Structure 1
């Protein structure tokens, strides 16, 4: 039994590490990786060009110029705004351009280029309420919607008696405003103008200010060579008035995207954007399948360790189970993806996602296996030993087959949970179903249809799996009736 388990684990590790070898081969090319949050039209946003989802915007054009001057290929990594600094400090991206203000707090962890653009803040409210919030003083006591970890969050928090709702995506904030969950949304004027629905929203005369309305490029501390190259490119673009040209062109692209807004039912929405979801399904199935496989094997090992007579093994297994079950999986994912690089251990987003799912699931499966093993009559083990079988052989041929059959429904439930919880990998940039749904929410202005389609896909996947497990369970129980 141990030999088979070891063989399977080695085979699975080869599959997992193959992703790393592919990534290493790609990394040999001269590339520079940009980190951005592509929901900030017209700075950076998704747009379908020639049938291909493309990240565009004037920040992206600036990044292209930086890469061109470096003689490197630009690779764009889309992430939530509050994940950009961890991505940068962990070395997963080379620089950040995402409408980011060079605040003193951010300067403590990263370095900034010279400013390349400056924009005013805008207050967005529902139509008919512009007179209610037409001055900064009238904003006192209002419910604010702002992007998480942004300068607008600081502005809102500085207003007396404010109630602040911080979210990752601008479309989500505007949905909060439209559904009357917040009173006002604070955003830069170009962002507000490009994203808001002018039929139901309006920009007021209130002009909030901050200590820093400038935008700059972020790089890791001490990366002086890259910072020098970026500053040289920015100085050239500013001198030639290229930045304003990029702003105007991005505004035209954004206006074209707004004009493409259309009303589709859920099925029509899925059919039109099916390529996005099909790509997401591939990543979800890959991560879930490997997470299930590794979790199953590791969980069985942990269960046997906990039930062994060795006190050290028992302590390690017990501590592992308690820690993994007592902490959120999202925290575990972030620790694996962002903290391990400090020890020169770097995983790709896919590897981090598989590892987090496997380690978390193994803790729950270990307890399921332990319950199944303890549920088998102890007399069977004693009888096997009396017939001359070793404890290992008895466990392999008699105890484990009965234990696994008894806990199969619980194992099936855990597998279904893994498929649903795999959606958290979208937080670190894995292009799974939820990642694709968030892209479509930002690029189509549809608030619910992308999520409804994603929910239906998850339901179909889990429903099919539960039925297959039911068939397997009935086949295994058929021998009990003979």
Structure 2
């Protein structure tokens, strides 16, 4: 019996590629939203306003304490029971953004806290407010520190979009499921899907590694 069927592969490469495009589109939308929202969450978590810190902590712990799959199901299938109805793509974007923002906020926080107190003191000596110092001095340095970690999270996000098949987003895994239900060519279809994921993930991982090396080299040059 032939496991990898070239005819099936050729006949279905178009729909599978369209699913891959949807996967990449979903990933980029969530990346853009998470980068902004996670920073706001991180800053809120370091705020002097105690209720805001508690609210941020509760949000992060709630996300960490529940699986992403449940969060997707809850937003798409449970919220309509209280009158909140979202299409599958919007529900997927919201769930992924909330999930990844919680984790990325901790990455941001670690990067900000890694900046030495002397930087804050120098900004204060120049007459900068804390907000101005954060924007002009602290955040630019913190972002450079956290770029490798952010890159790794975004590679994981690209693969986690497969969970969105549970809410019928027509990404590549969902597309393969629909086709396989008709022709039962699971080996061929899911092998193609695996190759597609690897084709995107591997170069992305190498890019993250390259950026990390560049950041380290630049930091060493500044220390000389």
TM-score, normalised via structure 1 length: 0.44
Higher helix share: 2
> Could you list the runs of 5+ residues in structure 1 that have no partner in the other structure?
1-261
What is the Cα deviation at residue 458 of structure 1? 1.1
Map Cα deviations across residues 113-135 of structure 1 (whole Å, 9 max, x no partner): xxxxxxxxxxxxxxxxxxxxxxx
Partners of 2:205 and 2:67 in 1: CA distance: 25
- Specify the alignment match of 2:71 in structure 1: 332
Aligned pair in 2 of structure 1 residues 368, 469: CA closer, same or farther (>3 Å)?
same
What is the Cα deviation at residue 477 of structure 1? 4.4
Q: CA RMSD in A?
A: 1.8
1:321 equivalent to 2:60? Answer yes
Of 326, 342, 362, the residue aligned with 2:101 is: 362
Secondary structure at 2:48 match in 1: coil
Secondary structure at 1:408 match in 2: helix
1:277 equivalent to 2:16? Answer yes
User: Are the equivalent residues in 1 in contact too, given 2:3–2:187 (CA < 8 A)?
Assistant: no
What is the Cα deviation at residue 264 of structure 1? 5.8
- Specify the alignment match of 1:346 in structure 2: 85
1:406 equivalent to 2:142? Answer no
User: Are the equivalent residues in 1 in contact too, given 2:26–2:161 (CA < 8 A)?
Assistant: yes
What is the Cα deviation at residue 267 of structure 1? 6.0
Of 111, 122, 141, the residue aligned with 1:383 is: 122
How many residue pairs end up in the alignment? 221
Partners of 2:91 and 2:79 in 1: CA distance: 10
- Specify the alignment match of 1:71 in structure 2: none
Map Cα deviations across residues 194-246 of structure 1 (whole Å, 9 max, x no partner): xxxxxxxxxxxxxxxxxxxxxxxxxxxxxxxxxxxxxxxxxxxxxxxxxxxxx
User: Are the equivalent residues in 2 in contact too, given 1:266–1:452 (CA < 8 A)?
Assistant: no
Partners of 1:395 and 1:406 in 2: CA distance: 15
Partners of 1:422 and 1:267 in 2: CA distance: 27
Partners of 2:90 and 2:196 in 1: CA distance: 23
Q: Which has the higher contact order (CA 8 A, sep 6+)?
A: 2
- Specify the alignment match of 1:467 in structure 2: 206
Aligned pair in 2 of structure 1 residues 266, 385: CA closer, same or farther (>3 Å)?
farther
Aligned pair in 2 of structure 1 residues 295, 273: CA closer, same or farther (>3 Å)?
same
Map Cα deviations across residues 58-80 of structure 1 (whole Å, 9 max, x no partner): xxxxxxxxxxxxxxxxxxxxxxx
1:393 equivalent to 2:132? Answer yes
User: Are the equivalent residues in 2 in contact too, given 1:405–1:473 (CA < 8 A)?
Assistant: no
Map Cα deviations across residues 386-413 of structure 1 (whole Å, 9 max, x no partner): 1101111111111111111112111111
Higher strand share: 1
Partners of 1:343 and 1:303 in 2: CA distance: 30
TM-score, normalised via structure 2 length: 0.92
Structure 1 stretch 297-306 or stretch 272-281: which is displaced more?
Answer: 272-281
- Specify the alignment match of 1:458 in structure 2: 197
Partners of 1:345 and 1:289 in 2: CA distance: 25
Partners of 1:363 and 1:266 in 2: CA distance: 42
Map Cα deviations across residues 108-166 of structure 1 (whole Å, 9 max, x no partner): xxxxxxxxxxxxxxxxxxxxxxxxxxxxxxxxxxxxxxxxxxxxxxxxxxxxxxxxxxx
What is the Cα deviation at residue 476 of structure 1? 4.2
- Higher-Rg member (1/2): 1
- Specify the alignment match of 1:479 in structure 2: 218
Partners of 2:9 and 2:64 in 1: CA distance: 36
What is the Cα deviation at residue 265 of structure 1? 2.2
The correspondence of residues 249-268 of structure 1 with structure 2, limited to 5 A, is 263=2, 265=4
Partners of 2:103 and 2:54 in 1: CA distance: 16
User: Are the equivalent residues in 1 in contact too, given 2:4–2:187 (CA < 8 A)?
Assistant: no
